Structure formats: structure tokens, C-alpha cells
Amino acid sequence: MTFGKGCHLHLIDGSAFIFRAYHALPPLTRKSDGLPIGAVAGFANMLYRYVEGNKGPDAPTHVAVIFDHSSKTFRNEIFPAYKANRPELPEDLRPQFPLTRDATRAFNIACIETEGYEADDIIATLSCQARDAGGRVTIISSDKDLMQLIGDGVVMFDAMKNKLIDRDEVVEKFGVGPERVVDVQSLAGDSVDNVPGAPGIGIKTAALLIQEYGDLETLLERATEIKQPKRRETLVNFANQIRISKQLVMLKCDTPLEFSLDSLEVREPEPEVLMGFLNAMEFRTLTKRIADKLDVTPPPMVTAEATEAEAGPLPEALPFDHGAYEAVIDMAALERWIARIRDIGHVAFDTETTSLDEMRADLVGISLAVDAGRACYVPLGHRQGGGDLFASDSLSEGQLPMNAVLTALKPVLEDPAILKIGQNIKYDFKIMARHGIHMAPIEDTMLQSYALHAGLHNHGMDELSDRYLNHTPIPIKSLLGGGKAAVTFDRVAIVDAVKYAAEDADVTLRLWQRFRPALHRAQVTTVYETLERPLIPVLADMEMAGVKVDRDVLARMSNAFAQKLVQLEEEIHEIAGTRFNVGSPKQLGEILFDQMQIPGGEKGKTGAYATGAEVLEDITTLEAHPTGAQLAARVLDWRQISKLKSTYTDSLQNHIHPETGRVHTSYSIAGANTGRLASTDPNLQNIPVRSEEGRRIREAFVAPEGRVLVSLDYSQIELRILAHIAGIPALKQAFRDGLDIHAMTASEMFGVPVEGMDPSVRRQAKAINFGVIYGISGFGLARNLRIPRAEAQGFIDRYFERFPGIRAYMDETVAFAKSKGYVQTLFGRKIHTPEINAKGPGAGFAKRAAINAPIQGTAADVIRRAMIRMPQAIAGLDAKMLLQVHDELLFEVAEEQAEKLTQVARAVMEGAADPAVHLDVHLRADAGQGRNWAAAH
């Protein structure tokens, strides 16, 4: 077909696909030879999705994927530094480039690259040709450098966001239409591509200037008329540089091409060619999916068969067949399953219960899986008449007695030769513990995923199944319903429960088959085996122990708070002169900034004024608005009390377990990317301590009669780790000498003696020390210290001058993250940083997170090691470890053994890094004890 009117050309930005694919996927390798193929796999998937998604009435008539040929182009002759600051390509990506071309050809799509030109120029040239021939063009990319091409039948489509980029979008981004984008980019420059532009002029200013003068040439000619002296000078002095920038930014529409548009006509893929490619890449899932679609039989996978002979069937090899799951309703059947488990030596194990709270949940059923597709469900506690208001409590028929089943399973679950595999198995471990079964050994697919993929995605079963098994399990909501009408699992019909529950065990088993070898390949087996897996029983015991909370203390505080709140509310209404909901930030904002006309109100993206504590604190100091100041101060008081009451004194009472009289939190091991734990239901890691009023809540956390609470917390653990990792001699020495580290920092920076130091000077140094751990920025420090930004930047500069190792650490860490896609703790934990090479503000976040993660993560590893060793160490004492708060461990111990416990626990904590890592800075733990947590801390 000759390209012309009525034709529609799709131009796919191949490089964008590749990088997106590379960063979206874990570092997959080809099974047979270890060739990195993650990016190719993602690329092929994206191409496939593109092909499938573009078959409708508006399907393209012509299509091509365009690649960059090499990094050196004609632009480097104009400006040698062009794209010079691009980070090195990851070493495992480069070998995948030719394979992405192969993939494109395998899909029977034209694959284009030209020496000396960027993909963008080819896209520009083809767009122009197609437009001139009267056709339409869709550029599939979100690259802003291509936006200059939009218009006259040319549009862009962002395939990631599934969104059309049209003229309006361009105006929003650049402040001008597509035809003037080049002008704005020439002025603003581009740090990513190293286009110089005009110094000090960004997109905003550039857009203003272009709007005013029409176009770049006119602007440069009339530059002397510009009123602002700085801008005028810049434009006059840098006119040449700006013109060079324009040459760099402007895409060429006359790239020499050795083919015609006609040759890009859409062609169906040829099944053998496509299958051959996918097969050679050993893309099991994609091969199967496309084979189904094309209705052809995939060729046998030679290498895979060899692997299967050694390791059993691969997880994706079998489809999920819900009908094949067995309901175990007689003891003979159960015994058959037990025999299978003993035979194979492992079992995926899952419990179904009536609640997510393990301390209150009743057991409803158990599922087991021994191999992919071979799973069963043992119903135990299903009840009749689900949903009926007068539902009887009698058990449904056809269920084995719970006692008999547990008695039969106990030897298996406790057999040291049989591995019990679970997804978040701490949950099932606790459920079984309440039935007198101590499961061991255990394995957790959630934690395997955490060791492999922290930072890439979450580790819930549904997500893992979607990602790694290409299978969406039955959603629990489809059985239980949602919201108020939700029922508990015991009301689910057994026939439905079998499918859901057995599937969970099946999925878990398949994930395990997949993750187990992956741990070795990613070299995180040690992390998983020493920092994740052994933590499960330790945390389960802590959670089951719980901490005693005195309800009366909380109730009294709640009452006092309630009265105080009423009083404050009245005062607030009086000052405002109107009644409103003090708890509504929206209403408060309107009162302060509209009604009372206090200046400086800033609206957020929802259109509501910001009324956070910082804003209110500023208002309290406004002398021009005494009523506003008073109101703000009262609201701050109200907020504090209200928070304490609702989040702590009220809510904690509801968490006191009716039988144990204690509060049992739940720790999530795979919640925080850095290796920290997270505490939920309730969160006992954020009990107030910083304010006097809040700290009193800790008085409600008590030890029973004859016992005391002992708290040990690491002193400055993150700064010590920083001193070690970054290798800062002055910091190390200060810790060795037991100095006040913040005062020492201040002394080094400002040249003042520690003796008789102004507390505010020390405070500033402290803020800087913390800032360094967080990936310091002038902006952040300025905001924290409430000083001008330039001053904050001055502090930072001086700090880096004084401790040059810190700068080096930060630069090295960011560079590492950029090339590897992750950072590591001293103990080998990987934290992925997928956004680190992104453009836009996301990169800034990712950079700081990358700087922080090894420090925070190493500290998290250290306390994990201490916790794992603790039960052994304190076994001879009448003591229990109860809580972890990131750098603190809380124990309950018989009064007369408090000293001994402190001594033992301190030794474990201070020696926790050894022998895996020898820190140049010793760790120190401070201890306290008392009848309640406030006294012990």
C-alpha cells in the first residue's frame, strides 16, 4: 500500500521501551546459560501488549520501532559535551540491545536505526514525511524532546500512563505550543542531555520570554530591551551558547533514510519466527501466552526439559486447575496426604481462620500442597447458614474433627526433616502455636521475595502470584464480600473454600519453587537465612507474649483529655467568633485565611489551605494578628490532645486482649524497604515520648506484680554506622572517646570549644548530623532549622569540607545505585532503587533514599541479629523480650533478675554485628528499668 491520506503511522521509541523494561523487572537471566534477558523479556512483553492493544478500528496501517544506533552523533561535533554526563549503562543491559532488535523483527515490525543519528531524528524525519504525504502519525513515547513534533496530525501517546499527549499537554509542560518548544528548550537547557541553554533560566522564565517576544531569534535580537538586568546580560552574553543549544535540541527532519514509508506497512507476525525467538530466549510464560493467542503449539523447550529433570516441573508449566483440588473429609484421605508430604519432605501450609488478628482468630481449615497443582483443603470449622441473622452455630456436615486432624498433623508440622512453607508463615505459626503445635522448620515465600525484591514491589501473595506465576488467585473478597456485609471464613461454603484455600497453598508452593534458586542467583541466601527466616519464631513469641497495659490509667487519661478538648473547643469557637469543626483542616483553613485574612495561606493540590503544625506555629508568632495567633496556639493544643486521645488512650484500650489483659501488636517483617520492622494493630513503635504530656501514656505500659520492664536502646547507632561506612576518622575517634557527638561536630564545624557551648549551636550540628543520614539538602536543612536556605547550604558546605568522606560516600552510593539498581547494607541486604535513573523529581527522592538505605538498613540488620540471638541468651532467666522500636528492645523480667538481664541483653546487642561484620566503631546500648515504660526508657 502506498502511504498517503487515510494512513496512520505508529512510531515506537524503542530505547524508552528498553529502559522501562530494564528497570521494571528483576535481573532475570536465561536458565540455560545465565545470559541477562530481563530487559528483553520486558521489551517483548510490551511489544506484545502493544500489538494486542492496537487492533481496533483505529489500528495503524504502518508501524516501526526506532532505536538509537550509538551514543556519538552529529550533535557531538557541534557540542562535544552533549549527553556527556549520562551514567554508564548497566553492564547487564548492553548485551541485551541486539536482542531487542531481534524481538522487534520477530514480531514482524520494522526495526530502524541509523548511524550518526538519534532515534529522535529518525522519528522526526518519518513524522514529517508521513504528514507531508497526508497521513496521521502517533509517536509512542513520553520523551519531552519529541514534543516539538506534535501538531498537523502528529500526536504522542504515553504507553506507560496510557495517555495521549496533545497540544494542551505540551502547553502545560513548556508554557508554549509545540512549535515553540525548541525555543524554550534552547533557553532552559537540559541537565540530563547536558544541553547548556542559558544559565539561570529555567522552563518557566524561558516560556515567559518566548511568549513576550514571539520566538527565540526575535528575543535574541531584541535582548537589550529586556528590563531585568540579570536576564538581559545572560541573553546577550550567552547568545551563542543558546544558538548552539537550539541546534542540539532541534530534531532533524532530513535524516537520510534508505527505505520508504510504504515498507513500514503493518504485517502479522509469522508464528514460527516469533515462536522460535521466544523459545530461544526461554520465555516460558510469554511463549505459552502467545502460542495460545496464535493457536499454535509451542515448540518443545529443550533446555527447560533438562532443567525439569533435575528440579521437578517448573511452576509455570502447569495451569491452575481449581477442580483438581481435593477436599479432605475422611481420615484415610488425610493420611494419604501425610504420606505424600513425608515422601517429598516439604509441604506448603496455609490456615484459614475467622480473623486477621492471630490472637483472636479461630481455625476454620487447613490447606496443604506438595507440588504444583497438587493441593488439598481440610475443612474443620465451617458453619451452617452463612449470612442469616439467625444462623445456627452448628458445624457443617462432612468435616473431620479438629482434634483428630491436628493430632495427625502435629508430628509432620514438628518434624525437623519436613520443611513447612508458608506465605507470611508467622501468621500460621501463631495460629498453630495456640493449638499446641510448634512448627519447625519453616520457610516463607513472602520473606524470600523481600530478600530478593525489596524496593521493587510489595510481597503479598496476590501480587507475587501475578508477577511471578502470571496467575491471579481467587480474590478473598469474592468469598467474604466487602464492607459491613462481609462475613467470616467459617461462613463460606466448603465447596468454594476448597478452591480458594487449596489455591493459596498451591500458589505458595509454586512461588517457593521459583524463589529458592533465585535467592542463590541474587546472592541473598545469607540475608534470607540469617536475617529473615530465623526472625519469624522470635517475633511470633514476642507478639504472643504481648505487653501488659493498665486500662485504668488509659481510661483516666481519656476522661481528662475529653474535658480538656471540650474546653479548648469552646475557646477556639469564641476566638473564631463562629462554631466549626476544629478537626477539619478545610474549615480551619477557611477561618484562618479567608475569614480572618491571615496572610500566607497556601493551598495544596486539593484546593484546601495547608494547616499543618508548622503553618500554625508560624501564625502563633504573627504580631499583626493577635487573635489569629491565639487561635492557632489553641488549635495546636487541641490537635495534640485529640491525637493522644483518639490514637492512644482510647484506641489502645480496644487492643487489650480480653483473656491475656495485654496488648499484642503484630510486626510486619517485609513492610519497610530498608529492613526495618513495622508494627501494626496497634502500632507500638510510635507511642509518644517527645512531649511531656504524651510520654505519660507510657506509664500505662506496665510490668505485672513482681516484675519490671527493662529497656535497652542503641546509642546513635545510625551515626556510628555512618562513621564506619563512610570512614570518617574524626567521627570514629569521637565515638571511641565517648564524646558528645553533636557537640564535637559543632566544635569541628564552627571552631568553638565543646566546653560551655551554646545549646543552639549544638542543636544545629545535631540537625546536620541527622540530615546527612537522610541525604541532606540545603532546602531540607533550612526548613528544619528555620534558617535561610543560603545559610543552611553554607553549613552543609562546611560540613563536607570538614568531613570529606561523607561527600564521597554519598556520591559513591548514588553511583552504585544508578549502575546496579540497588544499594546494600553491610550485611548484604539489597534495597532496590528503581526510580534512581528516572527523570523529574522522583530521582531526587530516590537519591536521598539510596543514601539513607544502607545506613538505616544496616542498623535494622544489627538489631535483627540481636533479636535472633536473644532467646538463647536469656533462656536461663525468667525474662521475655516484648517489643522492638527500631533501636530499642523492651523486656519484662522478674524483679530480682533485672540486673542480670540487662547485662546479658546488652552484651548481645553490643556484639550483634560480630562476627559477620567488624565495625570500626563499637556499638553501645543504654539501659533503664522501671515498673512502667516511661520509667524504663
The CB-of-400 to DNA minimum distance in angstroms stands at: 36
CB of 614 to DNA, least distance (A): 7
CB 324 within 8 A of CB 371: no
**Sheet of 547-549, strand order:** 662-663, 547-549, 701-702
Alpha-carbon distance of 613 to 640, in angstroms, equals 10
Cell numbers linked to 896: 530480682
| Least Å from the CB of residue 74 to DNA | 27
Query: Rounded distance, CA 579 to CA 542, Å?
Result: 47
Q: Contacting DNA (CB under 7 A), which of 591, 721, 849, 905?
A: 849
504 burial level (CB within 10 Å; 0-12, 13-18, 19+): buried
Q: Which stretch binds DNA (CB under 7 A): 275-283, 421-429, 645-653, 722-730?
A: 645-653
Place of cell 458453619: 383
Q: Least distance from C-beta 871 to DNA, angstroms? A: 22
Give the residue among 636, 625, 559, 557 at the shortest CA–CA distance from 596: 625
Of 694 and 911, CB closest to DNA? 694
Within a 10 A sphere around the Cβ of 493, how many other Cβ atoms? 12
Under the criterion CB under 7 A, does residue 613 sit at the interface with DNA?
yes
Helix extents (H) in 330-423: 331-344, 402-414
Distances (CA, A) of 550 to 541, 556, 657, 708: 21, 10, 12, 14
**Which set of grid coordinates corresponds to residue 237?**
552574553
Residue from 369, 380, 723, 781 that binds DNA (CB under 7 A)? 781
Helix axes 841-873, 717-726, angle to 10 degrees: 110
Looking at residues 578 to 597 of the shown chain, list those that interact with DNA (rule: CB under 7 A). 581, 583-587, 589
**Cβ at position 33, least distance to DNA in Å:** 36
Q: Which of 178-186, 425-433, 514-522, 773-781 is the region at the interface with DNA (rule: CB under 7 A)?
A: 773-781
Helix, strand, coil % (nearest 5) of the chain?
55, 10, 35
Q: Is 836 exposed, middle or buried (0-12, 13-18, 19+ CB in 10 A)?
A: buried
> Of the two residues 222 and 477, which places its CB atom closer to DNA in the complex?
477
Residue 342, C-alpha cell as written in the block: 513425608
User: Smallest distance, Å, CB 781 to DNA?
Assistant: 4
Between 96 and 234, whose beta carbon lies closer to DNA?
234
841 binds DNA (CB under 7 A): yes
Smaller CB separation from DNA, 275 or 677? 677
Site for DNA in 866-885 (CB under 7 A): 885
Question: Could you say whether residue 610 binds DNA (CB under 7 A)?
Answer: yes
> Whole-number minimum distance, CB 719 to DNA, in Å?
12
Question: Which residue among 29, 647, 715, 819 contacts DNA (CB under 7 A)?
Answer: 647
Asked if 780 is part of the footprint of DNA (rule: CB under 7 A), the reply reads: yes
State phi, psi for 865 to the nearest 5 degrees: -60, -40
Q: At what angle do helices 804-820 and 841-873 cross, to 10 degrees?
A: 100
For position 227 contacting DNA by CB under 7 A, the verdict is: no
Select the residue interacting with DNA from 606, 705, 738, 872 (CB under 7 A).
606
CA distance 266 to 24: 28
Residue 777 as a binder of DNA (CB under 7 A): the answer is yes
How many CB atoms are closer than 10 A to CB 115?
Answer: 8
Per-residue contact track with DNA, 179 to 218, x per CB under 7 A? Answer: ---------------------xxxxxx-------------
What b/e sequence results for 585-594 when a residue is b if at least 16 CB atoms lie within 10 Å of its CB, and e otherwise?
Answer: bebbbbbbbe
According to CB under 7 A, which residues from 680 to 709 bind DNA? 680-683, 685-691, 694-695
Q: What is the 3-state secondary structure (H, E, C) of 132-148?
A: HCCCEEEEECCCHHHHH
Among residues 200 and 577, whose Cβ is nearest to DNA? 200
Which amino acid belongs to residue 345?
G
* DSSP assignment of 491-507: GS-HHHHHHHHHHHHHH
Q: Is 816 in the site for DNA (CB under 7 A)?
A: no
Closest-CA residue to 544 (of 878, 868, 883): 883
User: How many CB atoms neighbour CB 610 within 10 A?
Assistant: 14
Q: Helix, strand, or coil here: 756?
A: coil
Would you count residue 856 as binding DNA (CB under 7 A)? yes
Q: Let me know: does 824 contact 92? Beta carbons within 8 Å.
A: no
Contact segment (CB under 7 A) with DNA among 135-143, 238-246, 603-611, 811-819 equals: 603-611
Question: In sequence order, which residues have a C-beta less than 8 Å from that of residue 295 and are 6 or more positions away?
Answer: none
* Rg of the chain, C-alpha, whole Å: 32
137 vs 767, which CB is nearer to DNA?
Answer: 767
Residue 16 CB, nearest distance to DNA (Å)? 19
Question: Interacting stretch for DNA, rule CB under 7 A, among 97-105, 259-267, 351-359, 766-774?
Answer: 766-774
605 binds DNA (CB under 7 A): yes
Of the listed pieces 83-91, 159-167, 224-232, 404-412, which binds DNA according to CB under 7 A? 224-232
Q: Are 863 and 714 in contact (CB under 8 A)?
A: yes
Residue 641 CB, nearest approach to DNA (Å): 9
In whole angstroms, the minimum distance from the beta carbon of 201 to DNA comes to 6
Shorter beta-carbon distance to DNA: residue 835 or 892: 835
Q: How far apart are CA 278 and CA 292, in angstroms?
A: 13
Does 887 bind DNA (CB under 7 A)? Our answer is: yes
Strand pairing class (136-140; 8-13) = parallel
Q: Which is nearer to DNA, 499 or 676 (CB)?
A: 676
Among 433, 487, 608, 815, binds DNA (CB under 7 A): 608
Rounded distance, CA 224 to CA 815, Å?
A: 43
- Sole binder of DNA in the list 421, 464, 616, 925 (CB under 7 A): 616
By CB under 7 A, is residue 776 in contact with DNA? yes
Given the complex with DNA, which of 45 and 716 has the nearer CB atom?
716
Is residue 646 near DNA by the rule CB under 7 A? yes
265 strand-pairing partners: 62
Helix (H, G, I), strand (E, B) or coil at 232: helix
- H or E segment at 458? none
**Options 318, 329, 678, 838; binder of DNA; rule CB under 7 A:** 678
Q: Which amino acid is at 312?
A: G
CB of 832 to DNA, least distance (A): 11
310 by Cβ neighbours in 10 Å (0-12 / 13-18 / 19+) ranks as exposed
Choices 304-312, 381-389, 545-553, 577-585 (CB under 7 A): range interacting with DNA = 577-585
- Kindly determine how many residues on this chain lie close enough to bind DNA according to the rule CB under 7 A: 81
Determine phi and psi for 712, rounding to 5 degrees: -125, 130
Residue 674 interacting with DNA (CB under 7 A): yes
- Of 362 and 681, CB closest to DNA: 681
Using the rule CB under 7 A, is 886 a contact of DNA?
A: yes
Give the nearer residue to DNA in terms of CB position, either 511 or 565: 565
For DNA, the closer CB: 224 or 228:
228
Answer yes or no whether residue 775 interacts with DNA by CB under 7 A.
yes
Select from 448, 465, 611, 825 the one that contacts DNA (CB under 7 A): 611
Binding residue for DNA, selected from 69, 101, 231, 322, defined by CB under 7 A: 231
Per-residue mark of binding to DNA, 821-840 (x: CB under 7 A):
-------------------x
Nearer to DNA, 470 or 647 (CB): 647
Applying CB under 7 A, the span of 56-64, 341-349, 498-506, 640-648 interacting with DNA comes to 640-648
Angle at 294 between CA 288 and CA 299, to 5 degrees: 50
* 14/675 with CB nearer DNA: 675
Q: Is 79 in the site for DNA (CB under 7 A)?
A: no
